[in-house]
Structure 1
Amino acid sequence: MRYLVLAILFVTFFTACNSKEESDKAKKTSVKKEPIVKEYGFTFNDFKVVRDTIRSGDTFSKLLEKFPLKDSLRIHDVTEKVKDSFNLRRIKAGKPYILFLDKKKPNTLKALVYIEDRISYTVVDFRDSIAVFNKKKPTTVKRRVVAAEIEGSLSETLTNAGVSAALGNKLASIYAYTVDFFKIQKGDKFAVTINERYIEDSIYVGVESIEASYFEHKGKKIFAFPYKISEEQKKSDYYDENGKGLKSMFLKAPLDYFRISSRFSGRRFHPVQMRFKAHNGTDYAAPHGTPIKTTASGIVERTGYTSGNGNYVKVRHSSTYATQYLHMSKILVRNGQRVTQGQVIGKVGSTGLATGPHVCYRFWKNGVQVDPLRQKLPNAEPLNASQKKKYLAHITPLKKELDSITAIKFKE
């Protein structure tokens, strides 16, 4: 009996010890460690962190006024020291920023991060000496081919295909002269080879560039490949599978927003000279200072001033075509300068014989002034034999890839 009692006591003691150990273990495992957060070059756990957004009227100085700086630094001295590295005027309402404060002295500012966009940011560090760092988050680019048939709108179709809907604007720009995107319909098809940018290999930023594309509208297949004729060319032009430019050689007008106040005419009453005479141009009325764009690429042949034309620019586009822009308030190009389609060459004014702000747009074909609104204008200048050979070699693997994808996707 004595041995039985001792055995029971031993078992009870051992069980109680195990229960206590398990209870202690459970308590330890139930205490969760604070996750380590690292971003913008800081370990957030080491600071008191305040996230906020720039409000209307905020300045860099106002942000610093909220918290004292170490060693009694004066705000004026700080702004003077950082202004060469950090353009303080670019601080805009709506942009986020982060304040890193001392944990022991929660009102003492250690660093400020101004977030320009999802990738770019500026760090103003007050911990040692004042230092400014303009940085970018590490990014990667991934390539893929997307093919889809239009269901609903283009943006819906892109979203359903797992692509940024913003790609629709890029495609609309590429095919602006060949496809009416207001009239695309169910059953139209497209395929596009794109490069997409990711932050730290996982956070999607958007479409970086387009390598090749194909659009089928009302049964018509249109390929588009970006290509630069020379290394000096800043932007690529788009050509089809045969090397024909997709873009019209000329813009429809030299202004983005305008009202045609007077058309090309063989007999028009001149409002200043008070008599009937030929009007060999098209007048586009617009507010004073409106940007005037060259309607096609070319060489500035002449700039100057005459009593009738006021400030003017004439651009030679080819051996066949030239254009002239009259009554400018300001000329922004010089003789002999190469200009690209859509480049701003001056501002709307009323210099010379003009009753109000407008640009008189004149158009030459084979040395004769004609009405541009009645012309069947050509596409962009075609590639010459040497350029075309290089171009076709460049696009061959890209087109082969698109053909393979579309054959599988659309079962051609």
Structure 2
Amino acid sequence: MKQLIYILLVIIGFFLSCKKQAEKKNVEIKEIKKPKPIMFFGYNLNKFNVVHDTIENGESFAVILDRHHVMYPKINKIATTIKDTFDVRRVRSGKSYTILISKDSLQKAQVFIYKHNKVQSTIIDFKDSVISAFKHKKKIKIVEKEVAGEINSNLSVTIDSLGLQPTFTNTVADIYAWTLDFYRLQKGDSFKLIYEEKFINDTTFVGYGDVKAALFNHKGEHLYAYKFIADTIKNDAEYYDEKGNMLRSTFLKSPIKFQYRISSRFNLRRRIKLYGNRVRAHRGTDFAAPYGTPI
């Protein structure tokens, strides 16, 4: 009887052992995948706490770093060390910045990235004993485009209707400043332009490049403008007409930016109602501009 019980125990033990081995075989070994590095100006963001923010009115470089646990002696050392690359006093409200903060219990700022615009940034690294700063410029893709328009009111209104920015109006006006009076444009005048647009990441518009060629039809007269670099050493570019004559001359046709409205023109026979419609000569031209316009 004892022998029988012993045999049964051995058999039960054998089956339990086989079951445990089978369970071990069914256990899946899962590999823990490391997160893919997220690179930002050469830094792996996975290693930092990241703050994206905008400089508020009254904020300074020191105030921002102090808020992120950097002591004032260290801030002063940073400002002194990088002064030849970046003047910390020139940070401006409304500008974007990014701070990379340590993930330890101290939560100290270690890198400050100041964005001057969509293209240029300054990176200040003070995470180690060595403080450094360098400038970064994103790669710009230049796309050549063409546009044509007809004047119905004035140049700025027409440019705006074509989906172009106001700065482009000034660019066109500067090209023809010596040959065309933009205050005397007529309805039906027209223009064609070949110009450049700048993009980063192929989709983000960051501004205009050169106007390479232009044609303005004013009162039936064709006014051509071709950009040409005559001095390759100084890289000085000028605009020339179809006969090779430089458009720039001594006197401007529109000496004052044409977006300023003429409030009173030169008129030797001007009559003023306030004075009984008497003739009071106006020997000048008055312009109206918004408050704050520099003189």
Return the TM-score normalized by structure 1.
Answer: 0.47
Residues 35, 196 of structure 1: alpha-carbon distance in 2 compared, 3 angstrom cutoff:
farther
1:131 and 2:132 matched: yes
Q: In 2, distance between residues paired with 1:159 and 1:153? A: 10
Give the aligned residue type for 1:247. Answer: R
Residues 80, 41 of structure 1: alpha-carbon distance in 2 compared, 3 angstrom cutoff:
same
Rg (Cα) greater in structure:
2
Q: Deviations over 1:17-38 (max 9, x none)?
A: xxxxxxxxxxxxxxxxx99975
Q: In 1, distance between residues paired with 2:201 and 2:181? A: 38
Q: Deviations over 1:137-168 (max 9, x none)?
A: 12111112222223444334334434333211
Q: In 1, distance between residues paired with 2:62 and 2:52? A: 17
Who is 1:122 aligned against? 122
Residues 235, 52 of structure 1: alpha-carbon distance in 2 compared, 3 angstrom cutoff:
same
In the alignment, is the contact (CA less than 8 A) between 1:123 and 1:133 conserved in 2? yes
1:161 and 2:162 matched: yes
Deviation at 1:171, TM superposition (A): 0.8
Residues 216, 46 of structure 1: alpha-carbon distance in 2 compared, 3 angstrom cutoff:
farther
Residues 99, 188 of structure 1: alpha-carbon distance in 2 compared, 3 angstrom cutoff:
same
Who is 2:111 aligned against? 111
In the alignment, is the contact (CA less than 8 A) between 2:54 and 2:96 conserved in 1? yes
Who is 1:210 aligned against? 211
Give the aligned residue type for 2:60. Answer: T
Who is 2:177 aligned against? 176
Q: In 2, distance between residues paired with 1:140 and 1:205? A: 10
Give the aligned residue type for 2:192. Answer: A
In the alignment, is the contact (CA less than 8 A) between 2:177 and 2:252 conserved in 1? no
In the alignment, is the contact (CA less than 8 A) between 2:230 and 2:236 conserved in 1? no
In the alignment, is the contact (CA less than 8 A) between 1:61 and 1:79 conserved in 2? no
Who is 2:198 aligned against? 197
Q: In 2, distance between residues paired with 1:55 and 1:180? A: 43
Residues 50, 106 of structure 1: alpha-carbon distance in 2 compared, 3 angstrom cutoff:
farther
Who is 1:146 aligned against? 147
1:102 and 2:102 matched: yes
User: SS of 2:85's equivalent?
Assistant: coil
User: SS of 1:173's equivalent?
Assistant: helix
Q: In 2, distance between residues paired with 1:219 and 1:172? A: 19
Deviation at 1:115, TM superposition (A): 1.0
1:60 and 2:70 matched: no
Deviation at 1:238, TM superposition (A): 1.8
User: SS of 1:79's equivalent?
Assistant: helix
Who is 1:361 aligned against? none
Greater shift in the superposed pair: 231-240 or 38-47: 38-47
Q: Deviations over 1:269-294 (max 9, x none)?
A: xxxxxxxxxxxxxxxxxxxxxxxxxx
Q: Which runs of 5+ in 1 are unaligned?
A: 1-33, 257-412
Q: In 1, distance between residues paired with 2:39 and 2:187? A: 47
In the alignment, is the contact (CA less than 8 A) between 2:121 and 2:135 conserved in 1? yes
Who is 1:12 aligned against? none
Task: Report 1:12-411 matches (<5 A).
Answer: 39-42=40-43, 44=45, 46-69=47-70, 74-105=74-105, 107-128=107-128, 129-250=130-251
Give the aligned residue type for 1:237. Answer: E
Q: In 1, distance between residues paired with 2:234 and 2:189? A: 33
Question: How many residue pairs align between the two structures?
Answer: 221
Deviation at 1:197, TM superposition (A): 0.9
Give the aligned residue type for 2:211. Answer: I
Deviation at 1:224, TM superposition (A): 0.7
Q: In 2, distance between residues paired with 1:137 and 1:211? A: 24
Give the aligned residue type for 1:144. Answer: K
Deviation at 1:83, TM superposition (A): 1.9
User: SS of 2:149's equivalent?
Assistant: strand
Q: Deviations over 1:74-94 (max 9, x none)?
A: 222222222232233432333
Q: In 2, distance between residues paired with 1:157 and 1:35? A: 49
Deviation at 1:113, TM superposition (A): 0.8
Deviation at 1:57, TM superposition (A): 4.5
Residues 65, 235 of structure 1: alpha-carbon distance in 2 compared, 3 angstrom cutoff:
same
Deviation at 1:39, TM superposition (A): 4.3
In the alignment, is the contact (CA less than 8 A) between 2:69 and 2:109 conserved in 1? yes
Return the TM-score normalized by structure 2.
Answer: 0.63
Who is 2:280 aligned against? none
Give the aligned residue type for 1:93. Answer: S
Q: In 2, distance between residues paired with 1:41 and 1:157? A: 44
Residues 224, 78 of structure 1: alpha-carbon distance in 2 compared, 3 angstrom cutoff:
same
Give the aligned residue type for 1:248. Answer: S
Residues 84, 248 of structure 1: alpha-carbon distance in 2 compared, 3 angstrom cutoff:
closer
Q: In 1, distance between residues paired with 2:151 and 2:39? A: 42
Deviation at 1:61, TM superposition (A): 2.5
In the alignment, is the contact (CA less than 8 A) between 1:211 and 1:225 conserved in 2? yes
Greater shift in the superposed pair: 43-52 or 220-229: 43-52
